[in-house]
Amino acid sequence: MRIGDTVYFTSGGKGSQPILTAVEIQSGKILWQERSIPKATFVWADEKLITLDGDGNLMIAHPSPQGFKIAGQG
């Protein structure tokens, strides 16, 4: 998912912990990686990242080039 000049994506295969990664588009530099996010579906809406994981857990977060801040989950 591209937001501004940063691309956010998850990686990780079967049996491995997914990693949410932020990459600067111009340089390809990895800005940060977050391992606490399970495999999930992501939607960008109203300046928020909304995720729904395989267990039905919903999370709202604010990703930025500086990091990942969870606003709420349930």
The CATH number assigned to the domain holding 50 equals 2.40.10.480
Contacts 24+ apart (CB under 8 A), 11-16: 12/39
| pTM over the 0.85 mark | no
CA distance 61 to 34: 12
Instruction: Supply the range of the domain harboring residue 65.
Output: 2-73
Average pLDDT score over residue span 14-40: 86
Of 23, 57, 21, nearest to 38 by C-alpha is 57
pLDDT digits (tens, 9 = 90+) for 38-70: 777 889 999 898 988 878 889 999 989 999 888
Amino acid code (one letter) for 38: P
Number of domains in the chain: 1
